[in-house]
Structures are given as C-alpha cells and as structure tokens.
Amino acid sequence: MQNKFYVTTPIYYVNDQPHVGHAYTTVLADVLARYHRLLGVPTFFLTGSDEHGQKVAKAAAAAGLTPQEQADRTVVRFQQLWKKLGITHDDFIRTTEDRHKLIVQKILADLFQRDEIYRAEYDGWYCVPCERFFTEKDLVNGNCPDCSRPVEKIKEANYFFRMGKYQQWLIDYIQTHPKFIQPDFRRNETLGFLRKPLADLCISRPKSRLNWGIELPFDADYVCYVWFDALVNYISAVGYLADDAAFQKWWPCSVHLIGKDILTTHTVYWPTMLQAMGAPQPESVFAHGWWLTGGSKMSKTAGNVVNPMEMAERFGVDAFRYFLIAEMVMGQDASFTEDSFVRRYNSDLANDLGNLLNRLTNMTGRYFEGKLPAPAEDARAGAEEKELWDAVQLAVTTMERSINEMRLQEGLGAVIVAVKAINRYLELKQPWTLAKQADKLPLATTLFTAAESLRVCAGLLYPVMPEKMTVVLRSLGQTRTTPQLDELRAWGVLKPGAPVKEFGPLFPRVEKEAVSDQPAAVSQKKPAAAAAVPGVVELLDYDYFAKLELRTAKIMNAEKIAGADKLLKLEVLVGEERRQIVAGIALYYTPEQVLGKTVVIVANLKPAKIRGVESQGMLLAASKGEKLVLVTLDGELSSGAKVK
Ligand code: MSP
C-alpha cells in the first residue's frame, strides 16, 4: 500500500469567476483524494488561488478595485463553488498569505546568494497576457507562440534564474522516470520542447511596470514573476523551510493535476527550480485536456462558457461530478454540451442506476414487507448469481486499476456495465414470477444478490457521487454509509432483516424539449387532427378500433441510426416474423435498455421510410408532458399475441 497520497490542483487566477475547466480539475483531484482515503492511505489534497501578477492587476484596475480587493472578492467565488461541489481539500492556499510570501522570499534569497539567480540586461519580446518573455526565434509569425497575440519589444534590467544549465539534467530525468510526465504524449511534448536550447528564466518584473507581486528580497524595485511565485505554493503549503516534519511527511507530491496549457511551467520551470533548491521532484505531473463546447474553445466572447455553479444547481452536484469524470477520457479534450449531459444522465443515472434502486426497494417492499430477505446459504452457487458477482468484482478490479493508471472514465464505465448486469439478472430471474411460488427462498436469494451487487457498485461510485451513494447505501439498510474498499470484495455485508426503502427518486429523469412530434413512434403521417374542441375527445365506433392490429413483439436487436440522434432501429420478433421498426425513442432509451423487452406494436401500418430506413410498424408508448415510457409486457406472453 502507498504510504501517503498528496494531490494538487493548479492554483486558480482570481481575475474572473470559476468555469468548468477549474471545476473539472478540482473534482478530479477530489475523486482521487476520496478514493485514497477510502483505501486508508493518508491523504493531503491542496488547492488554492494565484493572486499576483498582471492578470489580477488588470482585472482589479478594470473593476476599480485594488488587486487585494479584487483577490478577496473573487477567491470567495471559488471557495463557494468548492463547497457546493462537495470538494474535500485539506488546505486552500492563497499566494497573498504571509505563509507563502515568506517562503518565496527565502527561496529567492537563497538562490540569489548561490548565484542560481543573477541580474542582467534584457532585450527581447514580451507577451503581456501570458506574462512571458520570448526571443526572436520563439515567435510565430511575429506573434506570441502560445496565444498568437502581438508581443511588445522590451529592454530592461531583470533577474534571471539559471534554468538553461539544467537542460541536460532535465532531459535525463524525464527519460529515466517514465511516470514523471503523463500521459506519454505530453512527456514527448516536453522532450520536444527541450530539443531547442533552454534559455534562463526571467523571474522579476520592475515595479515601474507591475508592482502587484512579492517583492524580491535583494532588490526592492522588483517583484517576483507570478509563475515563480505560484509554483512554490505546492511546497509552501506543506511546510517547506517552515515545518520540516510536515514537509517530510507530504513531499514529494504524488500527482500535480494540471491542464495541458500549463505543461511547460510544470514540467520545465518547476523541476529545474526544485533541482536548484535541492528539493525532491514530484512523483508525477498529469496534464488533462480541455473542455470544449461542441468542437470549439470556450470563450467569454463566444458566450459558450459552461458555468459550473449553474450546472450543479440545475442537475444536482453529484450528477455534474459524475458527468465530468465519466465523459472525459483523461488526457484528451472533451465536449461539454447540454445534450450530451442529459443523454448520459438519463441513461447511466436515471435509467440504469436509479431504476435499479427503485425496482429493488419496490419489490422488497411488496414481497418482504420492506425487510431485506435472507438468501440461501449457498446463494452464490447458482450459475446466474456467480456470473453476476463475477461481473461486479470485475468492476472493482477495473476501478482499482483505473485509479492507478489515471483512467477514471474506464472505472466508471465498468461500474455502469455492472449495474446493467444487475438489471439483466433481475430480468432473467423474474422475481415477479418467483413471487408466485410457495417457496420464497429463490425470490429472497434473487433480491439479496441484486442488493449486495448494488451495494458494491454504490461503494465504487461513492468518491464520485458521495451524496447520492450515501442515499443508496441507506436505502439498502446500511447504517454506516462511508464504504470501506475492502468490503467491496466481500459477500454478505448487507444484513438480512435490515429495512430497505427508497428515499424519493434517486435521479429523476431530465426531460429535454420534445423529441419529435410523435416521439415514440415513427413519425408516420399524423392522423388528421380531431375537431379541435378543447377537452372534448372524439368518440369512435368499435369498428374503427377493430381495424387496428395491435400485437406483442420482442425486441431482438437495437441500434442507433447514424446522424439521427432521436431514432433507434429495432429488429423485432412478431410471432415467427421478423420486422424492422424505426422508433423515435433514442433520447429515452439506449439500445441496451430496450433489448429483450416485449412491447406492443401497431402491426398493420403501411411501411414508411424514415431517414431512408424502412419502418414496418410502430411502437406504443405512454407520454406525459415530456416523459415517455414504452408500453411493455412482463414477458409472460410470447411475441405475436394479439392485444385487444
Ligand atoms: N494560475 C495558473 C496556474 C498556476 S499553478 C501553479 C493558471 N490559472 S488559470 O485559472 O488560468 O487556469 C487554471 C487551470 O484551468 C489550468 O490547468 C487550465 O488548463 C485549466 N483550464 C482553463 N480552461 C479550461 C478548459 N476549458 N477546460 C479544462 N481546463 C481548462 O493557469
């Protein structure tokens, strides 16, 4: 077992309100911290705010505030968001705090004294928004190589850190420590950057140009460059040069989580700074991708910036946390759209997880007076029970691996597969049929096995959705609702006789705007509108109804139709006959969810082409407002039966 886990987020600039990028890194760090705490590993989770530098000074000037006032006001928005999102950081460091400023000054004084920092005349190019210096060669089409904006010519005396002399050492270090920069392609990016000669780093700004920063201890006319100041937060927060015991305990950090745009500062500036200080290197730096809207960058001017506070308020904190972790392949860019959010919410959370809890609590209520029944002694000897337990244990193994390999989305995917397996197990065992037998033991075993399996899934999901999974565990009758990871491998943790009940719907379905005019069905031509008298339903002769041929049909195959996100192409069995039906249900059901269901179809409609695909019938569904549920049978009738 690891002896400790220390995770950091970047410290965020307090020039503007938090957005989804900030929320992502912080939720990710929180999930990792929570997993390690569950594993019993001593954990330290650090986040904070980057309060000096030009960006903050500029925002303050625009708002008519002092930079400190600007920082004081904005930092609260980050702190409130972390509270709302259930973030469990152990410390929040602000770079304007004395505990940080004093350490930065100590480091500067020491490096200056040892000639790791020197004074020189600087003549070159400067990018104001990025606050970085560039040589002529660095520029791309005469502009900043990072943000492509115009640069300014600058000539002034400054202080420089001898970063260049560490170039070969850094290349060797990266090559001999493959875990140091992750994912691999980011490691190659840094090595690529290091193929060009590494210049020394300008670490000062003359006060005449910018006075919002930490004063250099050896020259009161200058403040420290904001990045040199900011990076030090990772060690000043854990006692560097102040509290040796704390520093020894936590440093080196296990993982610095960062966005891909701040790779160079974290994998070139920071390691060389630490090397010059004589401090150990962090174990790893993990750079994640960017959240885009559709395919484009989020930007204030485009008006497409996702506001995390608003998302959490509209859809719930846990659902938002889940989406962030499940949707982004760690390291790659991902797209944040409301559509993708709602789709994932409805399929993974409302349908798979929420429904499962609802079915279990309902059936326990109905058949066992709301008390978890005791299973057969050899419950897991049954083939289906064994298969299900294996599927659930596979999710445990996958989750463990996914945490170590920083592929959390895979772990979550495995849990949802396990949840689906529990749902399938219930379909297969048909507790509603077992309930008719005199011997209640098979029914008890079925419900207990499903509940135990759900308990394990809830434990695995707990670090991502702590509030909702606490509800699940309470619903299953657990009194201690913080799961322990070793219990996830154990069978029989739930106690027979414990009260099982639902505390309201776990994830109420989110209904998007109407999917189509005739959502469930097949947008065959609409019948001529009945006389439009409000509240009056036109009455029909029986003969009219008798012409309709309604039949049961079993869904054998289901798939999405490329380019039509509301439609599913179904292959159904009607008695001996196979038919293809196109149904507008894809926003309500995934293909997996409809597989095996026995539905009711209108069997004597003329075939129609929908998006070029032939549809030979129409499904019946009940819809109210924007809700839609397929009309299904419990499966006791074979397909092809007439519905009258
Ligand atoms: N203050 C520096 C970090 C100093 S760490 C010693 C900084 N702050 S920031 O507020 O501008 O950005 C913080 C983080 O947000 C960065 O990791 C950046 O990559 C991330 N993101 C900004 N926009 C983002 C998205 N659209 N998507 C994902 N992350 C994004 O940089």
Residue 539 has pLDDT above 70, yes or no: no
Residue 514: which pLDDT band, with cuts at 50, 70 and 90? Answer: very low
Most confident of 403-407, 542-546, 619-623: 403-407
**How far, in Å, is the centroid of ligand 1 from the Cα of 22?**
6
Q: Kindly report the average pLDDT of the chain as a whole number.
A: 90
Rg of the chain's alpha carbons, rounded to an integer?
30
Question: Confidence band (pLDDT; 50, 70, 90) for 532?
Answer: very low
Percent of the chain with pLDDT over 90: 69
pLDDT computed for residue 598 by the predictor: 87
Q: What angle do CA 319, 325, 329 make, to 5 degrees?
A: 145
When pLDDT is averaged across residues 513-521 and rounded to a whole number, the result is: 30
Counting residues of the chain whose pLDDT is more than 70, the rounded percentage is 93
Residue pair 568/585 in contact (Cβ under 8 Å)? The answer is yes
Ligand 1 centre from 77 Cα, in Å?
16
pTM of the model: 0.80
Tens of pLDDT along 343-358? 999 999 999 999 999 9
Q: How far apart are CA 448 and CA 18, in angstroms?
A: 44
Is the per-residue pLDDT at 419 higher than 60?
yes
pLDDT at 534 over 70: no
The two three-digit tokens of residue 203, written as one number: 């670490």
> Could you tell me which residues come within 8 angstroms of residue 213 by beta carbon, excluding any fewer than 6 positions away?
52, 53, 205, 223, 224, 225, 226, 229
Q: Computed from CA positions of residues 486, 447, 391, 471, in that sequence, does the dihedral angle turn out positive or negative?
A: negative
Per DSSP, the three-state class of 47 is strand
pLDDT number for residue 643: 79
Mean pLDDT of the 497-513 span: 88
List of residues 6+ apart from 138 with CB closer than 8 A: 125, 145
530 pLDDT higher than 80: no
What pLDDT is stored for residue 265 in this prediction? 98
Element (H, E) at 390: helix 383-404
Best-predicted range by mean pLDDT among 229-233, 517-521, 632-636? 229-233
Using the predicted structure, report yes or no on whether residue 538 has a pLDDT greater than 80.
Answer: no
pLDDT tens figures, 67-118: 999 999 999 999 999 999 999 999 999 999 999 999 999 999 999 999 999 9
Alpha carbons 555 and 565: distance in angstroms, whole number? 19
pLDDT winner (highest mean) among 77-91, 132-146, 526-540: 77-91
Using one digit for the tens of pLDDT, what is the confidence trace for 166-187? 999 999 999 999 999 999 999 9
* Best residue for ligand 1 mutational test, from 7, 12, 260 (most atoms within 8 Å of Cβ): 12
Does residue 471 register a pLDDT over 70?
Answer: yes
Least confident of 48-62, 614-628, 630-644: 630-644
Specify the higher pLDDT residue, 280 or 563.
280
In the reported structure, the alpha carbon of residue 259 is separated from the centroid of ligand 1 by a whole-number distance in angstroms of 6
Residue 171 Cα to ligand 1 midpoint, Å, equals 25
Q: What is the Cα–Cα distance from 342 to 508, expressed in whole angstroms?
A: 11
d(CA 83, CA 81): 5
Query: Going by DSSP bridges, is the β-strand pair 296-297/291-293 parallel, antiparallel, or unpaired?
Result: antiparallel
Residues with CB under 6 A from ligand 1: 10-13, 21-22, 24-25, 50, 230-231, 233, 258-259, 261-262, 290-291, 298
Q: Has residue 533 got a pLDDT over 50?
A: no
Ligand 1 centre from 470 Cα, in Å? 31
- Pick 415 or 627 by higher pLDDT: 415
Nearest CA to ligand 1 atom 21: 21
- State mean pLDDT over 564-580: 80
- Give the count of alpha carbons within 13 A of 601, CB side only: 31
Closest CA to ligand 1's atom 16? 259
| Residues 55/229, Cβ–Cβ less than 8 Å | no
CA of 334 to the centre of ligand 1 (A): 15
99 in Cβ contact with 239 (< 8 Å): no
Closest alpha carbon to 348 in 35, 589, 127, 183: 589
> How many A from CA of 48 to the centre of ligand 1?
12
Q: In angstroms, rounded to a whole number, what is the distance separating the alpha carbons of residues 118 and 108?
A: 11
Of 20, 261, 328, best ligand 1 pocket probe by most atoms within 8 Å of the beta carbon? 261
CA-proximal residue: ligand 1, atom 25 (nearest): 21
Mean pLDDT to the nearest integer, 256-266:
97
Positive or negative: CA dihedral 170, 137, 115, 231? negative
Q: How confident is the model at residue 480 (pLDDT cuts 50, 70, 90)?
A: confident
What is the C-alpha separation between 229 and 214, in angstroms, rounded? 8
Lowest-pLDDT choice from 150-154, 201-205, 332-336, 592-596: 592-596
